[in-house]
Structure 1
Amino acid sequence: MTISDHDSYIAAAPEQFRPLLATLRAQLARTLPDAEEVFKYNMPGFQIGRSIVASYAAFTRQCGLYLSPGAITAHAEGIAAAGLKATKTGITFPANNPIPEDLVQRLALTSRKDVGL
């Protein structure tokens, strides 16, 4: 099966992550209303102009939200307080500990600003 859009990606994800991914997609769409939904680098994402502002993915045991490095750095304390793990450009989380909605919003807005939009 070829996956080329958000709906197909979520439908093909492990069942326990599908509601979580659908919620994350809706949160990002609300926070970035002028962003275009794209499918690049084998992940669904939100693009404004030529810049990917945020993207997400599902793996075997966890999901990930990917943003600009500046967004991760700026919200490191909030990420840690939520009990989540972060890398330079992403936050991973299990189905039983999703990223709080207010943190998703702050991260997406900071990522947008960080990429110059």
Structure 2
Amino acid sequence: MGKQAPPGDVDDYLAAVPEEARAALADLRATIIAAAPQAVETLKYQIPVYKYHGDLVGFAVQKNHLSFYVMSPDLVRARAADIKGFNVSGGTIHFSPERPLPAPLVKKLVKARIAENEKRAREK
């Protein structure tokens, strides 16, 4: 059996995700879009990434978990109390379909990333 073709867009990506993970990632996608309607949805390294003054956030399905790429280890450390109970690796939060990230937490993190990226853009 050959390799599966890379996804063309985020809809294709989600269609290829195992069914048990699809709803959690679709909900995460909707929350990101609601929190950052100005962000551009794209695929980078074949995973969904949202861009606003650079990479904002992203997500992916892994073999043993789902990942929310906050793309800011400093922000993840600063919000450690909010993220307590989830596995963290640098600027990434790992979660499961059975225990998805709460929408208010995702919104808070996305808004904080918007502020970080806007600040960096102003300082250029």
TM-score, structure 2 as length reference: 0.86
Measure, in 2, the Cα distance between the counterparts of 1:2 and 1:43.
Answer: 10
Gapped regions of structure 2 (runs ≥ 5): 120-124
Cα deviation, 1:80-103, whole Å, max 9, x if unaligned, reads 1xx211111100001111111110
Offset at residue 115 of structure 1 (A)? 2.6
Offset at residue 64 of structure 1 (A)? 0.5
Q: The residue matched to 1:116 in structure 2 has which SS?
A: helix
**2:24 matches 1:37:** no
Count residues in correspondence.
114
Q: Is the 8 A contact 1:63 1:94 kept in 2?
A: yes
What is the match of residue 67 of structure 2? 64
Offset at residue 5 of structure 1 (A)? 1.1
Cα deviation, 1:15-51, whole Å, max 9, x if unaligned, reads 11001111000000000010010101221011013x1
Cα deviation, 1:50-104, whole Å, max 9, x if unaligned, reads x110100001221000012232122111101xx2111111000011111111100
Q: The residue matched to 1:104 in structure 2 has which SS?
A: helix
Measure, in 2, the Cα distance between the counterparts of 1:103 and 1:61.
Answer: 22
Give 1:1-117 correspondences, 5 Å limit.
Answer: 1-49=5-53, 51-67=54-70, 68-80=72-84, 83-116=85-118
Identity %: 30
Measure, in 2, the Cα distance between the counterparts of 1:73 and 1:109.
Answer: 16
Measure, in 1, the Cα distance between the counterparts of 2:8 and 2:77.
Answer: 30
Measure, in 1, the Cα distance between the counterparts of 2:8 and 2:114.
Answer: 23
Higher Rg of the two aligned structures: 2
In terms of mean alpha carbon deviation, does 21-30 or 105-114 score higher? Answer: 105-114
Gapped regions of structure 1 (runs ≥ 5): none
Offset at residue 4 of structure 1 (A)? 2.6
CA RMSD of aligned residues (A): 1.2
Measure, in 2, the Cα distance between the counterparts of 1:4 and 1:47.
Answer: 17
